Structure 1
Amino acid sequence: MSAIMTAPACPACDSQTLQPTFLGARLGVETCARCGHRAASHRAPRNTADYHAQYDSGGFMDSLRATRQRQARAIVERLRRHVPQPARLLDFGAGRGWFLEGCRDAGVTELAGADISELSVNLLRDAGIPSVQLALPEGGRWPLPLEALPFRPRILTLLDVVEHFPGPHLSDMVRHLVGQLAPELEWVVLKVPVASGLLYRVSRVMAGLGTPQFLEQLYQCGSFPPHESYFTRASMEALLRRVGLEPVDAFGDLDFEAGSLADRAHAARRLPRPLVTLAGQGLGAVAEGLRLQDAWIFIARVGQARA
């Protein structure tokens, strides 16, 4: 008797409704028919260098820093609707510390960062922000060095993080991170890329026409770790509820500065810079006007049963 093959489940909502929607030489994408989640499969060789050393300096980093600092102000302002005096915040996947610096400037007290990158940890410490270096995850578990933290976090931020988690382990990894911080943890803030964004839509159309480079950049093909997921609002809310979190707020973010798209879009470097800048300004205006931003930020409360 032949074994019955079970289709892989959606990483977000756990339904077995994934359907292939794009197949290229370096990237494959499946879409969940129920929640719209995108699950990627990568075939490009992966860069094994320190994650934060894989990106260009100069204009790219300047533009990215401006975006992250702007987002910090927006997130803190929105968070204060629910937590008037935010404090004891741990930024998991803190990167170069720009978000935490923005939080500090906005008056958030007791901050710390965590990252797998030694470069990231050193940059945070140079900025006067306590930080801990993480070991790599173990399947669906990602142990936190809680004894090295200067406080027990009340707020956990996962910004541009969970899309890097392998699809089969996505829910387990988020659940494990949240569970380790109980009972003190009260709030979780997540920022993820979404497939409803204008840049994603345009890149998907171009890939279908035989120009996949823009879509490959969105999924960070060839980097390590790449983007394993692109979310929708429905898929993110499904994931949050699966792991015991209650979504209480969500809002879109452009996730790039309209005037400096030329510095961020590697795939457009062969085009005249003034043309790319003009296109970025136009895309930004349309995306904001139609609410087709390429990232969404979710604020979730830790469920009472979990807390």
Structure 2
Amino acid sequence: MTPRETCCCCDAPPQTGLAPWHLVCPTCGYERAHLEPAINVGSAHDELDEAQRDTGLRALRDQNFRQLLDRLVPQLPGKRLLDVGAAHGWFVQRAAERGLQAEGIEPDEAVCAQAQRNGAPLRPGFFPQALREGERFDAIAFNDVFEHIPDAAGILRACHERLEQGGLLVVNLPSSRGVFYRTSKLLQRLGLPGSFERMWQKGLPSPHVHYFDAANLSRLGARHGFEAIDTFHLPSVRVRGLYSRIASVRSGRWKAPIVWLGVVLAYPLLAVLPADIDVVVFRRVAAPRSGG
């Protein structure tokens, strides 16, 4: 989305946001960043300690995936599930424990190889190019992935093509209404850009290029043949593994103890503050909008 483009959710013209690379839709609140992915570019990965990131995220993701599957499994029309951007394969493994025929796609070659060594049924590559011709699923999930993919409309069209009629599309991603993201925007306005850039994962191999909320994401889905049938929130922080997660970005390790202490002190309030993770479950109901 450049100043000459329109919002992917509502077609309104964007406005310049809080940084030269940041744009905001004044109509629906959708946000876009002009940040370039650099997956499988060696120098881009130097900033990220994958071992610490794995340790930091495992407890949070494992619990969230179990909670997501509790909500999802009763609504599934069949057993074939695809996890796009499956990373270490944790969601695929949890889904298989529920009796689903689950597999994943992961574009990061090193992460995919490690997951395969750990027994996760993952394919290397990008969605939908890594799929076989005519291959279709009962559900396709994006867990903290959709916000990293520049062509959101193209991905939704591909999902519509690859889902069975009545199949489910699950989008689990950071919310633009969440307390951490709103706080980072306030700090950006005060001349402290570090938190805002971290929320967008600026400078990392796969930065965020979108920020949605449940309302504008549902609106985007409706433009491409999907009906939102369920919306809920998941925790974005758990104390277990938090320090490793913060310290996984090497350039920010010097301030990791301060950030960790601040989050831990605020932790009891997070249950009543605006949630930082939205989950929207869509059902495939119609043909995508022509040219959408």
TM-score interval for Structure 1 and Structure 2 normalised by the shorter chain: 0.7 to 0.9
Q: Does 1:36 align with 2:29?
A: yes
Whether the 8 Å CA contact 2:24–2:31 is kept in 1: the answer is: yes
Q: Does 1:288 align with 2:288?
A: no
Show the counterpart of 2:60.
Answer: 67
Show the counterpart of 1:133.
Answer: 124
Match of 2:217 among 236, 241, 254: 236
% identical aligned pairs: 25
Q: CA deviation at 1:148?
A: 11
Whether the 8 Å CA contact 2:172–2:278 is kept in 1: the answer is: yes
1:1-307 to structure 2, matched below 5 A, reads 7-16=4-13, 18-23=14-19, 28-42=21-35, 48-49=41-42, 55-83=48-76, 87-105=79-97, 107-135=98-126, 142-146=128-132, 152-166=136-150, 169-179=151-161, 181-183=162-164, 186-265=167-246, 266=249, 269-271=253-255, 273=257, 275-290=258-273, 292-305=274-287
Provide the rounded CA distance (Å) in 2 between the counterparts of 1:272 and 1:145.
40
Q: CA deviation at 1:269?
A: 3.5
Provide the rounded CA distance (Å) in 2 between the counterparts of 1:53 and 1:77.
37
Q: CA deviation at 1:47?
A: 8.1
Q: CA deviation at 1:113?
A: 0.7
Provide the rounded CA distance (Å) in 2 between the counterparts of 1:272 and 1:73.
28
Provide the rounded CA distance (Å) in 1 between the counterparts of 2:44 and 2:132.
23
CA RMSD, 1 decimal: 3.0
The alpha-carbon distance between structure 1 residues 51 and 97, as it changes in their structure 2 partners (threshold 3 A), is farther
Provide the rounded CA distance (Å) in 1 between the counterparts of 2:148 and 2:117.
26
Code of the residue aligned with 1:226 in structure 2: it is: P
Code of the residue aligned with 1:36 in structure 2: it is: G
Q: TM-score, normalising length from structure 2? A: 0.85
Code of the residue aligned with 1:14 in structure 2: it is: D
Whether the 8 Å CA contact 2:58–2:241 is kept in 1: the answer is: no
The alpha-carbon distance between structure 1 residues 200 and 92, as it changes in their structure 2 partners (threshold 3 A), is same
Gaps of 5+ in 2: none
Code of the residue aligned with 1:131 in structure 2: it is: L
Provide the rounded CA distance (Å) in 1 between the counterparts of 2:70 and 2:38.
40
Q: CA deviation at 1:219?
A: 0.7
Residue-by-residue CA offset, 1:262-307 (whole Å, 9 max, x unaligned): 333357643472x5444223433323213x121111111111457x
Q: CA deviation at 1:34?
A: 1.4
Residue-by-residue CA offset, 1:189-218 (whole Å, 9 max, x unaligned): 111111111111111111111111111111
Whether the 8 Å CA contact 2:45–2:204 is kept in 1: the answer is: no
The alpha-carbon distance between structure 1 residues 127 and 52, as it changes in their structure 2 partners (threshold 3 A), is farther
The alpha-carbon distance between structure 1 residues 272 and 222, as it changes in their structure 2 partners (threshold 3 A), is closer
Secondary structure of 1:23 counterpart: coil
Code of the residue aligned with 2:213 in structure 1: it is: T
Provide the rounded CA distance (Å) in 1 between the counterparts of 2:39 and 2:148.
13
Q: CA deviation at 1:234?
A: 1.6
Code of the residue aligned with 2:155 in structure 1: it is: M
Gaps of 5+ in 1: none
The alpha-carbon distance between structure 1 residues 199 and 175, as it changes in their structure 2 partners (threshold 3 A), is same
Provide the rounded CA distance (Å) in 1 between the counterparts of 2:109 and 2:176.
31
Whether the 8 Å CA contact 1:67–1:256 is kept in 2: the answer is: yes
Residue-by-residue CA offset, 1:17-36 (whole Å, 9 max, x unaligned): x1112025xxx321111111
Q: CA deviation at 1:240?
A: 1.0
Residue-by-residue CA offset, 1:35-94 (whole Å, 9 max, x unaligned): 1111112389998239878631454321211111111101101113423x8621110111
Which structure 1 residue ranges, 4+ long, deviate > 4 Å from structure 2? 43-47, 50-54
Provide the rounded CA distance (Å) in 2 between the counterparts of 1:113 and 1:163.
18
Provide the rounded CA distance (Å) in 2 between the counterparts of 1:147 and 1:47.
25
**Greater mean alpha carbon deviation, residues 6-15 or residues 68-77:** 6-15
